[in-house]
Amino acid sequence: MRAQYDEQLNEMHQLLLTMGAYIENAIDMAVKALIEQDRELAEKTIQYDDEIDNLEKEIERVCLNLLLRQQPVASDLRHVSTILKMITDMERIGDHAEDISEITILLADAVYIKRLEHIPQMAETAKKMVTDAIDAFVKKDLDLARAVIAADDRVDELFSDVKDELIALIRENAENGEQALDLLMIAKYFERIGDHAVNIAEWVIFSMTGQHKKAKIL
C-alpha cells in the first residue's frame, strides 16, 4: 500500500515540476512579448495557458484519487493538501501571464511612453520567487520558503516605482493616460504573480510545520 502511495506521490511531484516549468515559461514569454511588442509571441502565451490549466486538472485528479484510495495519515494528508493549494496559485499565475499578453497585443503597434525598465525587473523577481517557492516544496527547504516571502518587498517597491513614474507622465501630458493605465495594469499583474508566489511559500511552510498564517490544522 505504501509503495503505491509513494508512486502516486512521485507522479504528483513530477506533474508539479512540469506545471512549474510551464508557468515560468509563461512569465518569460509574456515579458519578452511586452518588451519586443511581439504580437505573435503574446498570442502564443495566451494559448499556452490551456496547457497550464490541463496540468492543474491532472494534478487534481491524482491528488483526489490518492485521498480517496489511500486514506493518508495526517502528515501525508497535509502534504497532498498543500499541493492542491499550490496548484490553485500556480494556475492563477498562468492566468496573469495571459492577462499581460492580452494587453500587450493592444499595445503592439504603439510607441511606448517610457522605456520599460522596472516592469521587466518585476517580472524577473516574481519569476524567481515562483521558482524558489516550488523548489522549497520539493527540497523541503524552510529557509528558502521564507526567503520567497521576504522577496515580495522588492516586487512591491518596483510596483511603487512604476506607479510613480506613470503618474508623473500623465501629469506631463494627459494623452499619456490610456497607455499609462495599461502599463500600470501590467505591473499590477506582475505584482500579483509575486503575491501568488508568497501564497505558495506559505503553504510550503504549512506542509512542513503544520502552521499557516490563516490556519493551524492537520
Give the pLDDT confidence of 128-141 residue by residue, as tens digits: 999 999 999 999 99
**Interatomic CA distance for residues 97 and 69, integer angstroms:** 35
pLDDT of 216 reads 43
- Asked if CATH classification 1.20.58.220 holds for the domain at 2-209, the reply, yes or no, is yes
How much is the pLDDT for 1?
54
Q: Residue 218: pLDDT band by 50, 70, 90 thresholds?
A: very low
C-alpha dist (Å) from residue 211 to 86, 135, 147: 15, 19, 17
Per-residue pLDDT at 21:
96
pLDDT per position as a tens digit, 88-119: 999 999 999 999 999 999 999 999 999 999 99
Q: What is the pLDDT of residues 132-180, one digit of tens each?
A: 999 999 999 999 999 999 999 999 999 999 999 999 999 999 999 999 9
Domain regions of the chain by residue span: 2-209
The mean per-residue pLDDT over the stretch 197-203 comes to 97
Instruction: Using pLDDT thresholds of 50, 70 and 90, give the confidence band for residue 3.
Output: confident
> Looking at residue 210, what is its pLDDT?
83
Total Cβ atoms within 10 A of residue 53:
14
Nearest to 162 by CA among 209, 218, 123, 132: 123
pLDDT higher than 80, residue 127 = yes
| CA pair distance 110, 179, nearest whole angstrom | 9
Q: What is the average pLDDT score of the chain?
A: 92
**Model pLDDT for residues 33-88, shown as the tens digit of each residue:** 999 999 999 999 999 999 999 999 999 999 888 887 766 666 778 888 899 999 99
